[in-house]
Chain A
Amino acid sequence: MLLLLLGIIVLHVAVLVLLFVSTIVSQWIDGNGHTMDLWQNCSTSSLGSVRHCLSSSTNEWLQSVQATMILSIIFSVLSLFLFFYQLFTITKGGRFYLTGIFQILAGLCVMSAASIYTVRHTEWHDNNTGYTYGFTYILAWVAFPLALLSGFIYVILRKRD
């Protein structure tokens, strides 16, 4: 049982770390010499010596992506605290519903953020130069099924001893 508990906690912490990296580092789009993330737009000059960073545009869709990523982090952290709280206070045979619900909500938030970004990213950056999706964009999409998995595990997990 201890192994199962440890595995579940490791999964939850992994989801949390993915969410944090995806939001903070957030190199969601990588052009040549020009990276874009949720919070600022950085471009290196052709010489590679100077790096200019401007804050991102005030587009509503970009703001909603930022908001849902922050929400997913909040829900995941709340879910972790709730897990430890419920571990010590729930009755025998009880299920970790609240923890699971919050973790599933976090997963849904990441999914909506990544989807909105995928559909609407042309509105706030020009795609004249070639671009590819950065690694943190992939991390966000990886975090979504992991969060859902973690949430479902919490919902079907029963406290027993």
Chain B
Amino acid sequence: MAPGAPSSSPSSVLAALLFSSLVLLPAQAIVVYTDREVHGAVGSRVTLHCSFWSSEWVSDDVSFTWRYQPAGARDAISIFHFAKGQPYIDEVGTFKERIQWVGDPRWKDGSIVIHNLDYSDNGTFTCDVKNPPDIVGKTSQVTLYVFDKVPTRYGVVLGAVVGGVLGAVLLLLLLFYLVRFCWRRRQAALRRRLSAMEKGKLHKSGKDSSKRGRQTPVLYAMLDHSRSTKAASEKKSKGLGESRKDKK
């Protein structure tokens, strides 16, 4: 290479970037999502959710494994396994006949339900998903707390009351304005039809129309007294609008 030439061209920089992104960033990785904490009451059941994201399509060989590590213990035991479309439930251990598979690999859901909770179920549950050929990835853990009575989380009641009442009030207002708008539109349509009829009568008779003209306001008044007076005052007040603001 000539001494004065640049050491790298744009195309080679691009190639280097592409190569490094393929090697340094894992193109194939599986990411597992679970809740962080789950609260349950003694004797009831609790759902342990597990979901995953994979860069590959969900194959038929997808497998889910749930492991349980009791609180304060060092070892984790495997309590549930799902492979090749077949769930395998613990039949000899502490979770004998208490686990139910409610997940669906097509929907990327690997959740299980534990029935009849007991205080000895306190601990950490790990969800492990393998989706061949995408097998490298982190597992996710969820900690189960078993109480006598499940305490409400802070802010749930607060948010529910504030949101609920505000939403109800807004909905009522919206409904009210909608009904009023529809009613006003119907009134305007009726009035237009009446005026059209009156005009037709004037054409037919061809007589002194001033009398008929004087009669039409009476007809409106009989139809709807309050609206007509409001409409009349609206027309009057629009002219005085500016002076009203000045006075205030």
* A2-B248, A63-B152, A63-B155 given; A93·B230 CB < 8 A: yes
Query: What B residues does A105 contact at CB under 8 A?
Result: 169
Is B244 among interface residues, defined by CB-CB distance under 8 A?
Answer: yes
Q: Is the beta-carbon distance between B151 and A58 smaller than 8 angstroms?
A: yes
Q: Is the beta-carbon distance between B237 and A71 smaller than 8 angstroms?
A: no
Give the interface centre of B151, B158, B169, B248 by most chain A CB atoms within 10 Å.
B158
State the interface size on chain B (CB cutoff 8 A). 27
Instruction: Write out, one digit per residue, whether chain B residues 192-218 have a CB within 8 A of any chain A CB (1) or not (0).
Output: 000000000000000000000000000
Interface secondary structure of A, over-half rule? helix
Query: What A residues does B158 contact at CB under 8 A?
Result: 63-64, 66-67, 70
Is B219 among interface residues, defined by CB-CB distance under 8 A?
Answer: no
Interface secondary structure of B, over-half rule? helix
Q: Is the beta-carbon distance between B166 and A91 smaller than 8 angstroms?
A: no
- Distance in angstroms between the alpha carbons of A58 and B233 in the assembled complex: 56
Query: What A residues does B234 contact at CB under 8 A?
Result: 91
Q: Is the beta-carbon distance between B154 and A63 smaller than 8 angstroms?
A: yes
- Distance in angstroms between the alpha carbons of A74 and B158 in the assembled complex: 14
Distance from A40 Cβ to chain B, minimum over Cβ atoms (Å): 12
Query: What B residues does A98 contact at CB under 8 A?
Result: 173
Is B161 among interface residues, defined by CB-CB distance under 8 A?
Answer: yes
Is A68 among interface residues, defined by CB-CB distance under 8 A?
Answer: yes
Query: What A residues does B84 contact at CB under 8 A?
Result: none
Is B153 among interface residues, defined by CB-CB distance under 8 A?
Answer: yes
Query: What A residues does B153 contact at CB under 8 A?
Result: 58
Contacts from B to A (Cβ < 8 Å): 151-162, 165-166, 169, 173, 230, 233-234, 236-237, 240, 243-245, 247-248
A64-B158, A68-B161, A92-B237 known, 13 other contacts, Cβ within 8 Å: A58-B153, A58-B154, A60-B152, A60-B157, A63-B158, A67-B160, A71-B161, A91-B237, A93-B230, A93-B233, A161-B244, A161-B247, A161-B248
Contacts from A to B (Cβ < 8 Å): 2, 5, 58, 60, 63-64, 66-68, 70-71, 74, 88, 91-93, 98, 105, 109, 161
Counting from the closest, the 8 A-B pairs by CB-CB distance are A67-B161, A63-B157, A92-B237, A58-B154, A67-B158, A63-B158, A161-B244, A60-B157
